[in-house]
A and B are shown apart, each in its own frame.
Chain A
Amino acid sequence: MKNSLVIFKKEIKEVIRNKNIWLPVLIITVVFSIALPVLFIAGSGALLDDGDTIDFVNKIFGEIGDPLEALLGFVLKQLLIFLLLIPAMVPSLIAPASIIMEKENNTLEPLLATPLKTSEILMGKSLTALVPTFVISTINFILLTIVVDITAYIKLGYAPLPTLEWAVVAFVLSPILAFIITMVSIIVSAKSTDIRSAQGIGGAVIIPIYLIIGLQVAGFFLLNILYLLIGSLVLLAVCPLMLRLAVKIFDRENILTKWKMNR
């Protein structure tokens, strides 16, 4: 563990210096945790003046007492799913950069020739992707809560967050997703010498998230605590498989003889 922390400490300094990682994260934070909720809640009164919106609310929720509260709850579900972009995106930016830079700089072989266990290297690299993801995700969920609650309290007189769904997404689904994406990024990085193509995995993972949002908006289903828990369990079951695959690929001999290296 000590050696993994040494790796983590060195790597995290490089992550902090890397604008290519921070810039997209900052944009997502500003858009989904601040701008969108503020704009929606501030303009919610005007939204319900529109007949199409009323029809949409009736279609999704049926006849309800307060359409504005129902609409806000619906939008918050979308925002929570949007915030899963963070655990999907951040590891896919960090892990390939961390691994492919080792290949580009020819530093992997000297590192493997130290008494380090490969599991320690894997853990160090994984922590480098997972810790910032967890920190950024948590900051985003807290920021979203504060922004939504303050704006909603001022405009509507009540604070809708946190909810049980919020807690499941923030503290169960998000870390599980981050772990899976980290492992996938490590596996993809082994087969790639180009950071951008390896980082493209993040883009691929975002597609199902958009699909969930699209299906909700189209009225196919509405995410509730049951769906979230089932989704979390399914993804949790995938975790050991991804870990096993990553450990298999992150083997000294594989790294030196099968990974695509810069020569």
Chain B
Amino acid sequence: MINVENLTKKFNAITAVEDISFNIGESEIFAFLGPNGAGKTTTIRMLSTLIQPTSGEITIDGRTPSEGGEHIRSIIGLLTESPGMYEKISAFDNLNYYASFYNISREKKNDNIKKYLKMFGLWERKDDIAGTYSKGMKQKLALARALIHEPKILFLDEPTAGLDPESAHMVRGFIESLKKEKTTVFLCTHNLQEASSLSDRVCIIKRKIIRIASLEELRGDNQNKKIEIIFKEDALRYSKLLENIEGVKVLEINKNIASLIVENPFNTNPIILRKILDNGIDIVYFNEIKATLEDIYLDLIKDEEAK
């Protein structure tokens, strides 16, 4: 659905995005992560045909922005980082105005306005002017605007920013449901929990792409696994035993819990378990603590900065 090859964008002497390439398939949720100023918004703007790349190729739904800009814009929905609404007209009129620019019938337009306002709990206040809406309501209205023409591709820049936990949960559920409707979602977020729960693949960018992979692949990258052993008795008694096992890199003890970072867990973990059992030590739990996306993201960004 989206193909990007060697994309670069320069603003005079500043390179905002350098030589990035990726493909995104139909109904994929693709999380685009990076620190502030990493080039996320610039990339979204290039993909939305709002700005032109300095070099490189973009193909969306088989068209390039230069020859099919209008077609591309007709099949995408964009939720910007700072979504604004016309403050002096009603929520209904705001959606009706934007929907007028798409090739959809009046009936479909009205149905969609009703559908999305109801979905986001705004139907009862459809005639209120948008200026009276709270920040969260405006965010939901902006999301409804991005969806009003049922786009094939949705670019979401911080979709849950400013939303209360309940609304954020609802929006995440909605984004997940878009997969069933074969909508491709390009998700920019600083909320790594959100990215890990929603996305099929993650792209970490800092001007250049640092890594593109699924969360499982990213976890697999990490050869050092963290495990946690909960003993029946004080774990301090067994610290020497654990420290001496080859492959145990870091050991932390807290009451009856021992946290270990082990090298090559496929070989090391059976040795640890055998040692514990051979010594007749009672354990309650032996868990692998999976690295979170946040851990992986911070490691990758740190590595990139160290280069």
Contacts and interface: CB of A to CB of B under 8 A. Distances in A.
Given A114-B98, A115-B102, A263-B82, 11 more contacts: A6-B100, A6-B101, A14-B88, A105-B87, A109-B78, A110-B145, A112-B50, A114-B73, A115-B70, A117-B70, A253-B51
Contacts of A115: 70-71, 73-74, 101-103
Contact of A107 (B11, B84, B103): B84
A253 B85 contact: no
Given A105-B85, A107-B84, A113 B73 contact: yes
Interface string B137-154: 000001001100000000
Interface of A: 3, 6, 10, 13-14, 17, 105-107, 109-117, 252-253, 256-257, 263
A49 B73 CA distance: 72
Interface residues of B, number: 32
B141 to A, nearest CB: 11
B156 interface: no
Nearest to B131: A105
Interface in B251-302: none
Given A6-B100, A256-B45, A113 B78 contact: yes
B88 A17 contact: yes
Classify the secondary structure of A's interface with B: helix
A51 to B, nearest CB: 58
B17 to A, nearest CB: 13
Nearest to A113: B78
Contacts of A3: 100-101
Classify the secondary structure of B's interface with A: loop
Interface in B58-83: 70-71, 73-74, 76, 78, 80, 82-83
B89 interface: yes
B153 to A, nearest CB: 11
B83 A110 contact: yes
A109 B101 contact: no
Contacts of B103: 115
B88 A106 contact: no
A15 to B, nearest CB: 11
A253 B86 CA distance: 22
14 contacts: A3-B101, A105-B84, A105-B87, A109-B50, A110-B78, A110-B98, A111-B98, A112-B50, A115-B70, A115-B71, A115-B73, A117-B70, A252-B51, A253-B52
